[in-house]
Structure 1
Amino acid sequence: MTETLTKHERSLSAVIHASTLSKYFIPFGNFLLPLVLWIANKKEHSFVDYNGKQALNFQISLLLYSIILGIISVPFILGFIPGIFDGGLLDIRDYNEFNNINFHFIGENLHFGWWLWPIGITGLLQVALFIINIVYTILATLRTNEGQYFKYPITINFIK
């Protein structure tokens, strides 16, 4: 397959994949930079068209998965907040004097229970999505620069 692809096509496809890492420096860079590069070159090169779609679909899928994990964890976090202030970690009754604020934390007032597991699990899944994003973006960049067609895992094809 590398015989029919020019160095420009391979390099441009690799840059599209690598540009998704710009989200760590530019807000929404993982969507904007690949989108601009893909739209500007998709009609000229089918290899660039394929890789642009793959990169954008992967980033949109990761965003969707992160939002779902956040939505799942919100009820558990909101359930934890009242326990912090009412006899928990920051007992409001400890702050009853204006000049003599008492900063003591009583560990037995912390009521960590079964509801903390979903927060931990969703947090670990967010870390897993972060690692998957870094690893597969680097892998896609290297593979497309070699002229190979790369398909990301766990991707929903929004752009066909």
Structure 2
Amino acid sequence: MNSSIINRDKNLATLIHLSTFTKFIFPLGNFLFPLILWIFRKDDEFVDHHGKNALNFQISIFLYSILLGLLGLAGIVFTILYLESYINIQHFHEFAISDLQEAISVIILLAIFATLLLALFILEIFTVISASLKANQGELYNYPLCINFISINKLIIN
């Protein structure tokens, strides 16, 4: 723990990370509340580092979720269209998946993308808690898989 960082800064940095959980109560709370808290003390290097990291990670997680959702949707639509053309080739005149063997690819795709979204959610929970603990101890934290939309200054704390 670094004694040069005052408790007020540690508490604010911790609160910035934990405020991302407000998305479960307020839409876009994971962007707005950390942004508001960060703006109050962004001139402090420690708070600035944690604020930028928290916002960058939330934007990254949002984009990863959208990307996974779109890829999953595209895969399912493609699979259904393929099945429809397969059924039409077999001279079936109506589109109905009555056999589990024909629907298994859609079910597998749904399971894969649901698992990936769940893993992304668990990663977010785990890393936000880890970042909060590090901030409370007066240490720096860099999120994994984070795209730096807001540039982060390299900060060295003794």
* Bin for the TM-score computed over the shorter chain: 0.7 to 0.9
**Alignment-derived partner of residue 88 in structure 1:** 97
Residues 98-152 of structure 1 deviation map (CA, whole Å, 9 limit, x = unaligned): xxxxxxxxxx367224354333222111000100010111111111001010111
Alpha-carbon spacing, 1:109–1:144, altered in 2? closer, same or farther (3 Å): closer
Q: Considering only aligned residues, what root-mean-square deviation do their CA atoms show, in Å?
A: 2.2
Superposed CA offset, 1:49-69 (max 9, x none): 000000001111101111111
User: Residue 152 of structure 1 aligns with which residue?
Assistant: 143
Once residues 101 and 35 of structure 2 are traced to their aligned partners in structure 1, the CA distance between those partners, rounded to angstroms, is: 47
> Could you tell me how far apart the structure 1 residues matched to 2:52 and 2:76 are?
36
**Larger-gyration structure (1/2):** 1
Matched pairs, number: 141
- Percent identity between the two aligned chains: 40
- Name the TM-score, length of structure 1 as normaliser: 0.79
With normalisation by structure 2, the TM-score equals 0.80
Q: Gapped runs of 5+ residues in structure 1?
A: 90-107
Question: What is the one-letter code of the residue matched to 1:9?
Answer: D
Where does the alignment leave 5 or more consecutive residues of structure 2 unmatched?
A: 85-93, 152-158
Q: Which amino acid in the other structure matches residue 97 of structure 2?
A: G
CA 1:126–1:76: 2 relative to 1, 3 Å = same
Aligned to 1:73: 72
Q: Which residue, out of 100, 112, 131, partners 2:103?
A: 112
Equivalent-residue separation in structure 1 for 2:80 and 2:26 (angstroms):
32
